[in-house]
Structure 1
Amino acid sequence: MKFTLSLFREYMANYLKVKLTYRADFWVEVVSDLLFSAVNLIFIFVVFQHTNSLGDWNQAEVIFVYGYFMIPSAIFGTFFNLWNFSDRYIVKGEMDRVLTRPAHSLAQVMLENVDPPSLIGAFVGLAIMGSAWSTLGLPFSWYDPLVLVVMVIGSVLIYAGIYTALAAISFYSDAPTGIVPLMFNIQNYGRYPIQIYNKGIRFLLTWLLPFAFVGVYPASFFLERHKDLVMSLLTPVVGIVVAGIGLLFWNHGVRRYRGAGS
């Protein structure tokens, strides 16, 4: 762990050197992420122009869930930027270079693709949560920040486990699978209260692809009307399990990998 953290410092130093040379690229990334978040937030407002509630969730509660959703999503996007793993590391053969080094292969891939501008979304999400918290008049307890940190870590681990497993599919087939874009669309269902979906989708988002634990379930811990203590406290547990499965799948794929060949 100490060795990996030292690598993180070196990679971040190199990243900052590059971005200080090409500063416009950094701000373009920040602005594009903010615009993407703004569009999604505006969509929620548009929906509530045509209805007073989604199920029994009002506008402020849905915005609260969305604000929470943004935090783990942004942290995941910062440190687990695995979207182009198959093309870069398998098809182009860069995985061979990674495996010649002593650090764990997944840690190296993560550090090589770190994207700090995405972290801005976490602060925006926190601000959205704070605004909705005030609008709803929710009580604030001393342990709420600690619980939020634990919930966010659990949610990030769920993202990490799912997308690590999807990236590891490339070890078994170097052909583009098209699964990642599909998964990205599915994860967006976690922005909204799971109660508005039918039973099949609720089961999918809770137990098969548990994106409900990156949005509504952990956020419900802080909501008075929709507090689901059991499911919210399961978030870190589900996160550890899913991340463990993803890591096992990755390690198995690495052992199976035989190089880029010719």
Structure 2
Amino acid sequence: MFHLHLFIEYFKQYIKTRMAYRWDFVTQFIMNFFYQGINLIFILVVFQHTSSLGGWNRYEVIFIYGYFLIPWAVFSAFFNLWDFNDRYVIKGELDRVLTRPVYSLVQVIMETMTPESLVGGLTGLVVMGYAAWKLDLSWDLIDILLLFLFTLGSVMIYGGIYIALTSISLYSDSKSDIQPIIYNIGNYGRYPVNIYHRVIQFALTWVLPFAFVGFYPASYLLDHDHWKWYAFLTPLVGILYLGFGLMCWNRGIRHYRGAGN
């Protein structure tokens, strides 16, 4: 309850800050929407030259992309760690965070959250709904509950991977960063995994499991039982990778010696 109350207060302050520049806030929403739209256009262009992609038709691939947008939007809203190295390590703001009686990672998340990124989740739901309508899919309450569970697992996978990567900054004040590379790899999860080479399929499943943030859960929701057990592993994989990320963060914090060193 303490952390929930603290989150609400941080959220209030964030909204006050953004409302000081209302048009900038609105523009951010619009830009997020158009960015997702451009990626969708790319998929449509691909299907102008082929009728299927690895055995998946146009609307199935669009459905997978729509699901991919939902966990990505939630992750982007509450795990905005892209400039952690520069802001918290090089500029020394982590020293301030560590003097407060709240878990350091929770503070960083609350200070860097960008709730406007959640518009991507709404876009994803619209895209999924459109594709489901074209595919004549019928859902029941269990499917909705599974969508929530899968999304939670996918967000935990994202969170665990990027928390672990961010923790590297606690050992060095170098500006070099591998997060952009991992971001590009993560985009592979928006397409059917069986279109890739077997080595890439293995890596996207068991090394950097981005197949669980898009393809596997979405394929089950599309009634493709071939990937059923992979889909149900999504929450477990999320717990494992989030636990790994938190372990890396805690070890990094113990190693961190302050901006002056």
Q: TM-score, normalised by structure 2?
A: 0.98
In structure 1, what is the Cα distance between the partners aligned to 2:184 and 2:193?
Answer: 15
Counterparts of 2:173 and 2:145 in 1: how far apart (Å)?
A: 42
1:157 alignment partner in structure 2: 156
Alignment of 1:1-262 (within 5 A): 2-225=1-224, 227-261=226-260
The CA deviation string for residues 4-35 of structure 1, in whole angstroms up to 9 with x for no partner, is 11111011100111122110111111111111
Higher mean alpha-carbon deviation, 86-95 vs 174-183, is at: 174-183
Task: State the 1:115 CA deviation.
Answer: 0.3
In the alignment, the residues of structure 2 paired with residue 136 and residue 158 of structure 1 have an alpha-carbon distance, to the nearest angstrom, of: 29
Separation (CA, whole Å) in 2 of partners of 1:227 and 1:30: 37
Distance 1:78 1:207 in 2: 26
Q: CA deviation at 1:226?
A: 5.7
Tell me the matched-pair count. Answer: 261
Distance in 1 of aligned mates of 2:224 and 2:234: 19
Distance 2:172 2:9 in 1: 32
Q: Deviations over 1:77-107 (max 9, x none)?
A: 0000000000000000000000000110000
Cα distance in 2 between the residues matched to 1:193 and 1:203: 13
Counterparts of 1:173 and 1:246 in 2: how far apart (Å)?
Answer: 17
- What's the CA shift string for 1:199-228, capped at 9, x where partnerless? 011011000000000000011111124652
Q: Percent identity?
A: 54
**What stretches of structure 1 of length at least 5 have no aligned partner?**
none
Alignment partners' CA distance in 1, 2:104 and 2:24? 28
1:174 & 1:218 partners in 2: Cα distance? 38
* Structure 2 unaligned blocks of 5 or more: none
Amino acid at match of 2:36: S
Instruction: Tell me the secondary structure at the aligned position of residue 141 of structure 2.
Output: coil
Report deviation, 1:177. 2.8
TM-score by length of 1: 0.98
Distance in 2 (alpha carbons) for counterparts of 1:224 and 1:99:
48
Q: For 1:19 and 1:178, how far apart are their aligned partners in 2?
A: 28
SS at match of 1:123: helix
In structure 1, what is the Cα distance between the partners aligned to 2:238 and 2:75?
13
Tell me how large the CA RMSD over aligned residues is.
1.0
Residue-by-residue CA offset, 1:148-190 (whole Å, 9 max, x unaligned)? 1000000000000000001000011111233011011000000
The letter for the 2-side match of 1:15 is Y
| Structure 1 residue ranges (4+ consecutive) displaced by more than 2 angstroms after TM superposition | 224-227
Distance in 1 (alpha carbons) for counterparts of 2:151 and 2:116: 18
In the alignment, the residues of structure 2 paired with residue 152 and residue 124 of structure 1 have an alpha-carbon distance, to the nearest angstrom, of: 15
**Alpha-carbon shift at residue 65 of structure 1 (Å):** 0.3
